[in-house]
Structure formats: structure tokens, C-alpha cells
Structure 1
Amino acid sequence: MAISVSKKNTRATKKVEERRDSCRGFFNSLLCRVIFRVPAVILLFVLIFLWSSSATIISGNMVHVCVSSRKLNNLYCLSAGAQPNFEISLPAVRNSSTSTEAMPGAINRETKETVQPVAVVKNAFDDARDDEVAIAMKSVEEQLEMQRSWISHSNNQNCDERGIFVYDLPPKFNKDLISQCNDMIPWTDFCRYFTNDAMGEPIPKLGKNWYQTHQYSLEPIFHSRVLKHPCRVYNENEAKLFYVPFYGGLDILRWHFKNATDDVKDALALELMKWLQQQRPWLKNSGKDHVFVLGKISWDFRRYRGSKWGNQFLELDQMQNPIKILIERQPWHPYDVGVPHPTSFHPHSDDDIVSWQQRIIGSRRKHLTSFAGATRPELPDNIRTLLIDQCNSAGEGKCHFLDCRSGQCAGPETVIELFTESEFCLQPPGDSPTRKSLFDSLVAGCIPVLFDPFTAYYQYPWHLPEDRSKFSVFVDQEEVRQRKVNVVERLMKVPVQEREDIRSYIVYELLP
């Protein structure tokens, strides 16, 4: 898939919570303390696709990036460009440090310094808090509406001698990080996940298209794919998009559970910025036509003052212009682009897709619902314990709980088999709002039950439909927390025909 996105030219200063408190801090810090009107200036195009080949197309001044998208030979495209009447206008904040002068061959931009950031002050009273949350949600929804407006379904497949330039970075920014795979996390050997172009080792039990793919493998997967992109160019003067293959997620992952100083955690990203500032394409357009793909969540790159978790990569002034593609975006940064976690399913052909569709659409769903996960006792507001209690007390065939504390979820085989046997799959937030398991359930044809809109609805506007009822069931986590609803009983009331309609949409519309 491809994306076009407008840019902002100022540094974001919102705080983020430590990862272990990210769900709770996410709402307290962001929704109630500091909400900014997110600025933007003009548009930029960007390529995005994780698991299939793609092609860049340019017609007139418009740039399209198209992918086969598993749609059985049909291309799926998104566009951006510099047409006179093609622009996305949003107010920009003051103190922009980036020039908006039009560059030859670059996307034209115009900065309007008309709106200052408006912070929402936390109020102790519930009604004030509700107002703040409403303002925050409205801001996010406006962003999503804007982002969806960038989608194009053009079928043009001509690159027109312009395309994607991939930087050949010094190996310390990517390859050397891969070589540290056996020491990335103390209790895990990551090396087996980086074979087969980072898809991991094959899983014969599930079939030829299944691999041990780690949820943090997005960076090398994307890098491998874009190197083979048909519109990749080797002359920077022919490029409309510049991809920086920095494995920032692997960089910060190696420091998560070690006693490293902030200077150590920030060092490699700062070195990268110095390197980029010596490159002519970066200087030419201040990074506005550059894209980074990061295989960790946004909060890991936005360490706030007083915290020891993560680094400051996405808070750097230089990083406010480029597009950042992540498995979980910061909802108030329009240039944080959310993309699905990598799954273990990597089909090689249309026939592989059709074969899997036939298998899961005809699968015997012997469980009404299931939950694969573990409790989060360190997060008192998390609803997992309540869901597990409801599941375990539901009775035979109603709900199956797979306890991931026992190691049963270490490989995808057990989880995928459970999901293919379940009508619904519970997807509560974990350490952060998003879950790889959401996409595992979709691949298995299991209808996801979501409890937090930030798990999917506010994350993936290019991958999931605006109408959430087409592919999911939503139960407000606050109702669960207050014991106002028994989730299993509610799911029992969903008509069989409605279940079949949702599953058909997932299998035949989303999965391709």
C-alpha cells in the first residue's frame, strides 16, 4: 500500500508514559493533560507495504504507489502530488524551523503560521475530563478522515522514470543490529526470526506459507521488500521518495532491559541525524520526502522527562518532517503512520490466498469465543483479569482461555489453530493499546472483539474500514471494568447470519 501524507514543521512536546504503564498513562497523560491541535502544511507521498510486491506510478505531477495487495491481480493504490488543486490544508503551529521554499522536483508546500498549540488543562471534575476526552477524540477522528481522503484506487502501473531511492546506510544503522540478534533481549534468541528475509523459520505444521515471524521484525522485512521494488531507483535525482532503512526499533529494543544511560540509548539515532544532514537529498527538502519504517510503537521513541524508558528519536527537531511508519502510532501525530504488526502468514501467490480462504471460511468453529493472553497485574485498570474470569466461568464450548504465561503462545501454531476454531477472539489492550493478536485473528477468520478504539480504529485507516462493524465487535472496556456487561453473554446474542457476514468480509475483503 502507499500513502500520501501532509507534514508538520514543528517539534511535538507531548509526554508519554513508560511502556509498562502505557495504557493507563496513555489516557491520563495524553487525553487529559496535554492535547494539541495537530498542525500540518502540505502533502508528501510515501510508499507502504509490508508483505507483497508493489509498484510506483507517476502521472503528470501525481505520484502513486500501488501494490498487488493480495487482491488477486488487482492493484491497490494511494496517491499524492503537486497538482495545483491537490492539497491538504491544515493550520501549522508557530516557530517552524523548516523552510517551505519550493524545491525543484520536490512537492510544493506552504506554511500558514496561524494557530498556536492549544493545551487542554487537566481538571479534577469528571465533566471537565469528559469534555477533554471529547476534544481529543474529535481531533483524532478529523485526522483519520483526512488520512482516508488520501486514498486513490488508480490502476496506473507506470513508474515514469521516477521512484524510490533507498539509502545505503553505514552498517551500524541496520546490518550490525541484526548481528546482535543473540543478545537483543536477555531471554530470547532473535536470530531465528531474521532468516528468510526476516520472515523467520518455516512452520511446516501450518503449511508452506507460514513462518516464525516476530512482531518486531517489520524493519528488516520492509527493507528486504523495498530493495526489490520495481520502482526503486539508484540515481537520487530520479527519486520522488527517499527511504531511510534505519532499524530504530531494534536499536532501542536492545536497551529496554539493560541498565543503559539515556545518552547510550540516544546515541545511534543522533549519529544517524548527523549522517543524514550531510546528504544532499535530505538538505534539499529538509527531510519532507523521506520515510522511516520503525518496528516498535511510537511511545518507545518518545521518552519524556523523568522517564528511563525508550529514547528521544521521534522527539528530535529533525524528525518532525519525515513520515514515520510504525506498528503503533501516536494518535495526535499525523505523520506517525500506523501499519499492521507482521503476521506469520506470507503467501507467495494468489492460489495460496484462495486455498487459505477456503480453509478458514469452512473451518468448524467449536468455540464461541477465545482469548489468548495473560493477566497484567501491574496494570490495575487493565480488563484482562475480568475477561479471563468471565471466560473461565462461561461453560463448555462458550469460551476457551489460552494462558500465555505457560509458554503456549511462544509459537503461532497453537494460537492460529485456536483462532481458526473460534467465532470470536477477545482482543483487550496489553502493554499498549495495539496487539499483534488482532491481525492473527483476522488472518484466521476469527471476528475480533475490541475494547479500546485505539487498538485498531484509530490506528490503521488505510488497512481497516471506517465502519468498524464490518470486521469487529466493540465492547467498551469501561462497561467491562464496571461489571456492567458479560462479554460472553453479549456475543451469544450476535445472530449467526451477522457472524457469517462479518467473517465473509474479513476473509474475502480484508485478508486479500
Structure 2
Amino acid sequence: MNRKKGMGMLKGSGWPLLMLMMLSVGKMAASSEEEECENRWIHIRKLPSRFNLDLLANCSEYPMLDDLCPYLGNHGLGQKTHNRSRSWYRTDPSMLELVFHRRMLEYPCLTQDPLRAKAIYLPYYAGLDALRYLYGSESNFSALHGLHLFHFLHQDNPQIWARHMAHDHFLVMARPAWDFSQPLTNDPPFWGTSFLELPQFFNLTALTLEARAWPWQEHAVPYPTSFHPLNLGLLDSWITRARRSKRSILALFAGGGGGGGSSSPNIRRSIRSECENATSDPSYEKLCEIVDCSNGVCEHDPVRFMRPMLQASFCLQPPGDTPTRRSTFDSILAGCIPVFFEDLSAKSQYGWHLPENEFEDFSVFIPKEEVVFKGLRILNVLQRIPRSKVRSLRQRVLALIPNVLYRKHDSSPGLKAKKDAFDLAIDGTLDKIRSRVQELHSVI
């Protein structure tokens, strides 16, 4: 071919060629997205604002609670602990529903078509809506909690709800499941609402801060901590600090309870007694330290407990009103090895985030009955653990940090490549729903 003629043909067809190349790249990108999202498409159900945003408008008016308004900032992460902070916020656990909703909006596999979706997310702020039944004038009508949501779902595009008999639906409940588990037959009503006892909701998946042992539809996800990094550098910097921190305290307990009042034996009373009477050990500056978090003084002030946790080898995690504690995840962030006293505190709860078959690799278990009723000394148990084992436990704890934090929304691509508590919760939910839907259709 004549060189000039060939160049002329290429020059003349340059724009169409460029368009073809762009279309080809676009198709490849779309194809890649299709492959990545093939079994991960999620549809966010459009709900009237009375089910979510309107509940935030009353943030200062919920009875029996402090003003929740300061904790709405930064899409539920709360206000920064100080002006120069880049990762630390005064996060309230009750804002998990808002935090999760914000993160769902940037989930990469969203679809507008509910028939294409493998899961349907309900952005219903169940924990906030429950407050009027838990503390307010409607506490005598707690069996009604959730019925208004069901009526909407049943009447507005009912085919979405009916397609898989609601097995493909999920929501987040920023309270322990016990708060939504009052039997419908209770009269007069006891503590809690009956949301999870309503037959209408037996098939959906509920992500709660603490799950009960038997209902299949509940699964616990980590309590939100105060640490929400924006990029990989901030995360790595924190992990390095936790790794290099000098551990001058053998054991630390950050919490309340176990002091005056009732003299009945319990694990928190045993911990306080042992800690207050601890002797010295040449390997540590202190054998035991207590950070008194009574009356919620630590809840929105992470500095109060994170600095001591960074100095401790072991962080004691006794059950309180319920088995689980936010402190478990705070201690993991600090590289402080958690010490559990019953399986329901974590081992039977957070399988997506803290693998159940690896608990002995990152934690210590001491049965509370042995401590409370048989006189087993917690500090003696911890002192007998070889230093090499302690180092191994801490390394595993540090490796778990990304699993238990909720990174900040709009975070950097590098950090997004590491799965956090939200990502693992979505993965687990999709697997759970996929299994249930397959089982449903195999029966049908």
C-alpha cells in the first residue's frame, strides 16, 4: 500500500477509530463490573423518610436519653475528638444504622432493578425507631414495632417482598437483638419491642450488635469504635503505633460495675477485687489497672481508655447487662489481647469478623465460674502464659484491626482494597441470603 495513502486513510479515520477504542474499553470495563458484581448486586429499597431521616430530626427529644444530635455529624461518625484529628471521632453505637446506610450508598454493586438484585437492603433505622417503644409513651404498644414498615413493604411494590418470601431482605439494628425480642404474649409488656418476634419478619436477615444464640436470621456485627481512618497511611500509622507501644501493664479492665451496692458474687466484682489487691511483678510496672467507665463517662471519649489499652498486654472483657461489649473491639484496635469469660461475649457472635476456629490464636478464655465460685486468679493465669505466646497472640490481634473498624466513607482506593467491618458484613450477608434462597427454591 502507498505509504502516504495509508497515512491518509488512518488520519481520515482517526476519530471513528478512537471512538471504537473507547467503546471497546467501555465494554471491557462494563464486562469486568458485570463479572465482579454477578453475585453481589444489591438493591436499596426506597422507604419514606419517616422510616429513617425523620427519626434523626428528633435527635434531642428521645426520652431517658442524652441529646443524640452531636453524634449525627459526619454521617453518623460523630464529631472529631479534637480539631486536628484525622481518624478519631466521638462515635455513638446507636448511629450504626446511619453509618451503614451511608456506606451502602457507595457500595460498588448497586442496582436500580430489584429483580436483578441478590439482596435487598432496607434503610430502616430500627434502633432509633424502637426508642419510643422502649422509653416513650408507646412502651405499652411495643408489639406494634415494625408493623408500619411491613404494611408499607406489603403494599408498595409487593412483588419485591414476595419474590423470595423476604429471604433476600436485610437490615441493620443498632442494638442487641434482645431489645427487639419481647414475646408477643407478654402482658403487661416487659423490656424491649417485639420486632424480631413478628412472623412477618422471620425470613429477613437482621444485622445486630449482639445476636441471640438460636434464631437463624440474626447475625452480630462489630460495635462501631471511634477509629475511622480515611486512607491506608492513617491505618498503617495506627497499627505501627499499637505494635511498638510499650506494654507496661499486665491486665486492664475498662468498664463499670463490680463496685458497691449488691454483694452478690459476679465476674466484675471478682475482677475489681483481684485488681485492687494485686501484688508486684518485676516484668511489669503494674499487674492490673482499672479505668472506671461508670455512668458512661468513657463512651464518647476514646482517649480515656485507648491510652491505657495501648500500655496493657491483656484487656479483660467480662459480660455486663448483656454478654458483648464495645470494649472488645477497642482493645483489638489497641493491640491489647482480649480475655473473655464466656463464649457469648464474642466467640458465638462475630464469626464473619473474628473467626470462631481461631479464637485461641488471638484471645484468652477463662471461665467466669472458675473465677467467681472456685477462686481461680485471673492474673495468675495470665502471668503463666509464655512471653513468646503473648507476642504471637498480639501479632494476630494486630492483624484483625482492619476487620473490626468501620472506615470513613469516601475513603481512599488503597484503604478500600482492605475489607473492613462493613465489607465483611456485606459478604457474610450475601452468602447467608444466597444459601437461604437456594434452600427455599430447592424445597419449592
- Specify the TM-score bucket, using the shorter chain as the normaliser: 0.7 to 0.9
If the length of structure 1 is used for normalisation, what is the TM-score? 0.66
Name the CA distance, whole Å, in 2 between partners of 1:353 and 1:303.
40
- Residue matched to 1:427: 317
1:236: how far off? Answer: 2.1
Match of 2:103 among 205, 225, 228: 225
Cα pair 1:200 1:212 within 8 Å, conserved? yes
* Structure 1 residue 293 corresponds to structure 2 residue 183: no
- Report % sequence identity: 35
1:160: how far off? Answer: 4.0
Name the CA distance, whole Å, in 1 between partners of 2:247 and 2:358.
25
**Matching of residues 319-468 of structure 1 within 5 Å:** 319-375=201-257, 380=264, 382-395=266-279, 397-405=286-294, 408-410=297-299, 411-465=301-355, 466-468=357-359
Cα pair 2:130 2:145 within 8 Å, conserved? no
Q: 1:458 aligns to what SS in structure 2?
A: coil
Letter aligned with residue 351 of structure 1? G
- Residue matched to 2:81: 203
Cα pair 2:132 2:139 within 8 Å, conserved? no
Letter aligned with residue 484 of structure 1? G
Match of 2:152 among 275, 282, 304: 275
Q: Cα gap change, 1:380/1:172 in structure 2, threshold over 3 Å: closer, same or farther?
A: farther
1:197: how far off? Answer: 1.1
Q: 1:490 aligns to what SS in structure 2?
A: helix
Structure with the larger strand share: 1
1:484: how far off? Answer: 2.4
Q: 2:320 aligns to what SS in structure 1?
A: coil
1:508: how far off? Answer: 2.3
Letter aligned with residue 442 of structure 1? I
- Residue matched to 1:484: 375
Cα deviation digits, residues 72-109 of structure 1 (max 9, x gap): xxxxxxxxxxxxxxxxxxxxxxxxxxxxxxxxxxxxxx
CA RMSD of aligned residues (A): 2.4
Match of 2:138 among 242, 245, 260: 260
Deviating runs (4+, > 6 A) in structure 1?
Answer: none
Q: Cα gap change, 1:234/1:255 in structure 2, threshold over 3 Å: closer, same or farther?
A: same
* Matched residue count: 359
Q: Cα gap change, 1:247/1:378 in structure 2, threshold over 3 Å: closer, same or farther?
A: farther
Q: Cα gap change, 1:464/1:206 in structure 2, threshold over 3 Å: closer, same or farther?
A: farther
Q: 1:352 aligns to what SS in structure 2?
A: helix
Letter aligned with residue 147 of structure 2? L
Cα pair 2:205 2:219 within 8 Å, conserved? yes
Match of 1:475 among 361, 366, 390: 366
1:182: how far off? Answer: 1.0
Name the CA distance, whole Å, in 2 between partners of 1:213 and 1:180.
18
1:309: how far off? Answer: 0.8
Cα deviation digits, residues 171-194 of structure 1 (max 9, x gap): 111111111111235341111111
Letter aligned with residue 148 of structure 2? E
If the length of structure 2 is used for normalisation, what is the TM-score? 0.76
Q: 1:246 aligns to what SS in structure 2?
A: coil
Q: 1:292 aligns to what SS in structure 2?
A: strand
Cα pair 2:315 2:331 within 8 Å, conserved? yes
1:406: how far off? Answer: 6.3
Structure with the larger helix share: 2
Q: Cα gap change, 1:276/1:434 in structure 2, threshold over 3 Å: closer, same or farther?
A: same
Q: 1:348 aligns to what SS in structure 2?
A: coil
1:259: how far off? Answer: 5.0
Q: Which has the larger radius of gyration?
A: 2
Q: 2:166 aligns to what SS in structure 1?
A: coil
Match of 1:496 among 387, 394, 397: 387
Q: 1:233 aligns to what SS in structure 2?
A: coil
Cα deviation digits, residues 309-358 of structure 1 (max 9, x gap): 11110111111111111111111112211111111111122222211111
1:361: how far off? Answer: 0.3
Q: Cα gap change, 1:345/1:185 in structure 2, threshold over 3 Å: closer, same or farther?
A: farther
Point out the more displaced range, 175-184 or 203-212. 203-212
Match of 2:127 among 229, 240, 249: 249
* Structure 1 residue 240 corresponds to structure 2 residue 124: no
Letter aligned with residue 317 of structure 1? P
Cα deviation digits, residues 172-226 of structure 1 (max 9, x gap): 1111111111123534111111110101111238941111111222111111100
Cα deviation digits, residues 417-441 of structure 1 (max 9, x gap): 1111111111000110010000000
Letter aligned with residue 274 of structure 1? H
- Residue matched to 1:216: 94
- Residue matched to 2:163: 284
Cα pair 1:382 1:429 within 8 Å, conserved? no
1:158: how far off? Answer: 1.6
